[in-house]
Structure 1
């Protein structure tokens, strides 16, 4: 084989092709792929960030809506109370809106402690109210007795109707909790009673209690009272 001279080698190397250069089309494609990747990463970041914010908002909203439910006294607030009396049962739907919620919580707490077992209806005013609880603190009906008869003649279009369940606004001491069930519309009910429920079944029982014979102080001549109160979610 013939030897290639150095000069000939140099000439031959110059004639070899250098590395091929990227075309404009290839650069454009790579750029578009890079932009697409950056957009995907940004979109993913925004999606997960937004999802975290929504989850936090839902959590805080749930905490706000259940602020009273965290109270152990009303952790599972029943919707109804069945008052079992010697005359029959009275079913009450409990109102849990606004200021009634705190009263309902106290009522439920009293039920769980058996406060109403054996409680007597110590005042029965026809066409007015029946009351159960401590008679020495019966001020809510004390100044109503002279007006009871005239209230019995009022129409049913008044704001406060018959068969509403309430308790006196006076603070309950030593676990006391008196109850009132109206038997006629009472215009100034809010001045005396915190209403927290409505009778939905057993109106005839209320009326039967209302018809018992009473003395001059509106106390039933024959004792009649509550056997027990059952709390329920459904009736």
Structure 2
């Protein structure tokens, strides 16, 4: 028994020395078995808007392709200077240059009906999504819901959730708009910062 414990200790000591020489640790060795690509993907995006900061947690597991596309767009500076083109109070705000306004028009035409429906978790407010349409070059638009939307998943690819800055989202949705839900004053995104931790 004593010999076994000594042999085990000796093996552990030799491994620790080897790891120290290689500049590794037990945690890093175990981490080698995980997917390196998954660990490299930012988990958060911070939108610096003209009203303040909005922090979003990205849903990589649920919408991997959309998150990858969003991150790529961020790295290319796509969202710098992007305006919020549509703001529908108690509903949704839209940023981007997409000319497809069917999503907004369809929702707003049935807004009163929606307000009477059950508010389920998957349709809650402060979700980040983009249109289901295939994005053209420079066509990645974003939507942030400000109220539960019953058919949200049918209209948008949801890929994140606002975890900080809900008050900023609400401030944006309170801006004055024209009859087409366009803000009367320019309001938009200054830039987006990607983070692994916050």
TM-score with structure 2 length normalisation?
A: 0.78
Aligned length: 167
Highest RCO, 1 vs 2 (Cα 8 Å, sep ≥ 6) = 2
**In the TM superposition, what are the counterparts of 1:162-173 in structure 2 within 5 Å?**
162-173=125-136
Deviations 1:196-223 (A, max 9, x none): 0000000000000000000000000111
Tell me if 1:215 matches 2:181.
no
Whether 1:195 and 2:158 are equivalent positions in the alignment is: yes
User: TM (normalized to structure 1)?
Assistant: 0.66
- Cα distance in 1, alignment partners of residues 49 and 116 from structure 2: 28
Structure 2 runs not aligned, ≥5 long: 1-32
Q: Check the 8 A contact 2:120/2:150 in 1, yes or no.
A: no
Question: Is contact 2:48-2:189 (8 Å) kept?
Answer: yes
Aligned-pair RMSD on alpha carbons?
Answer: 2.0
Conserved in 2, the CA contact under 8 Å of 1:167 and 1:177? Answer: yes
Structure 1: gaps spanning 5 or more residues: 1-61
After the TM superposition, list the runs of 4 or more consecutive aligned residues in structure 1 that deviate by more than 3 angstroms.
Answer: 149-158
Equivalent residue number for residue 113 of structure 1: 76
> Once the two structures are superposed, what CA deviation does each residue of 1:68-98 show, in whole Å capped at 9, x if it has no partner?
x2xxxx8821010000100000000000114
Q: Closer, same or farther in 2 for the Cα pair 1:75/1:113, shift >3 Å? A: farther
Corresponding residue of 1:160: 123
SS in 2 for 1:172: coil
**Partner residue of 1:66 out of 14, 30, 35:** 35
Deviation of 1:142 (Å): 2.2
Report the equivalent of 2:26: none
Q: Residue 136 of structure 1 aligns to a residue in which SS? A: coil
Q: Give the secondary structure class of the aligned counterpart of 1:159.
A: helix
